[in-house]
Structure 1
C-alpha cells in the first residue's frame, strides 16, 4: 500500500510533525507538489488522522504516575459504560484502556506528589462506579515511550 516516498514522508513527520511541505519535500527527495498530493492521499486513506503536540506533564509539576488495573463488577449490566463515562471526567486520568481477561480496565493517572495522588485516589478513583478490585502500580521509570511506527 505504501511506497518508498510515502514511508520517507511518514518517517519524517513522525520525527517532526511540525515540518512544512517544502522541508518535507527536500528531506524526502521530492517536490513540494508531489509531497502535498501524497499527504492529501494519506489523509484521505486514514493513514494520517491528525497531528498533536506532546506535553511533558513533568514540566508542569506532575511527579507521580500510577497505573491502576481495575476489575469491574460485571454482574451490573452497565458496569463498563458507567465506569468509563465517570473515569473520563477525572482530569488526572490521562489514558484509559480496556482489556479482555481478569483485568477489565487500566487507568493511567498523574499527580503532583504522593499526597496529591492519595487525594485523587480517595476522592475520585474510589468513587468510580462498579469497581470490584483495584491494583495500583507506581511508575518508577519509563523505559520506552516511543509511539513511532517502524516504517
Structure 2
C-alpha cells in the first residue's frame, strides 16, 4: 500500500473527474510544477493506484436507453464450467459487465439494450441459451447517481 498525501488525493479526485487533464494544468491547479505533477501521477500509476484511464460513453446518446442488471444462477455447476459460461457471456456485446459473485446468484450482469423489447430479444435469444443458465432475475435501472468514491 502506498502512502498518499493531500496533494496525491487531490490529483486522484481531479483525474477521476476528468482523466484528460494534463500534468501542467493539474500542477497549476495544485501549486506544483508540471514535472512535479507528472512525477506524482507516474508514481501513482506505478504503484497501481491509477490502474488506467477510460472514456465514458453515453449509452443513451448511442440509442441504448435501457440498462438491466441480471442475477444469473447456473443450473448445475458440475456440468458446465464457470469458464465456459464466462467465455460465452462475454461474447455478447450487450453484456457490459460480468461479475462472479457470492450469494443467491452466481453472476451479476449489466446488460444494455435499445428498449425493453430489445432487452427481451437479448435475454431470450442470447442469455437464456448460454451453457448452464438456470435461474435469472432482472432489475431494470431507473436512475443512476454518481457517488463520490473513497477519496471524495
Do they fold alike, i.e. is TM over 0.5? yes
Size of the aligned set, in residue pairs, is 150
Deviation of 1:147 after TM superposition, in Å, equals 6.7
| 1:107 alignment counterpart | 109
The 5-angstrom pairing of residues 69-80 of structure 1 reads: 69-76=71-78, 78-80=80-82
The 5-angstrom pairing of residues 38-117 of structure 1 reads: 38-76=40-78, 78-117=80-119
Deviation of 1:56 after TM superposition, in Å, equals 0.8
Out of 130-139 and 67-76, give the one that drifted further.
67-76
**Cα separation, 2, equivalents of 1:60 and 1:146:** 24
Question: Cα deviations across residues 12-69 of structure 1 (Å, max 9, x unaligned)?
Answer: 1112111111100011111111111111111111111111110010111111111111
RMSD: 1.6
**Cα separation, 1, equivalents of 2:58 and 2:149:** 17
Given that 1:14 and 1:148 are in contact with CA atoms closer than 8 Å, whether structure 2 keeps it comes out as no
Which SS does the other structure have where 2:14 is aligned? helix
TM-score, normalising length from structure 1? 0.91
Moved over 4 A (4+): none
CA 1:147–1:111 in structure 2 vs 1: closer, same or farther (change >3 Å)?
farther
Which SS does the other structure have where 2:36 is aligned? helix
Which SS does the other structure have where 2:78 is aligned? coil
TM-score, normalising length from structure 2? 0.91
**Cα separation, 1, equivalents of 2:97 and 2:125:** 19
| 2:129 alignment counterpart | 127
**Cα separation, 2, equivalents of 1:89 and 1:129:** 13
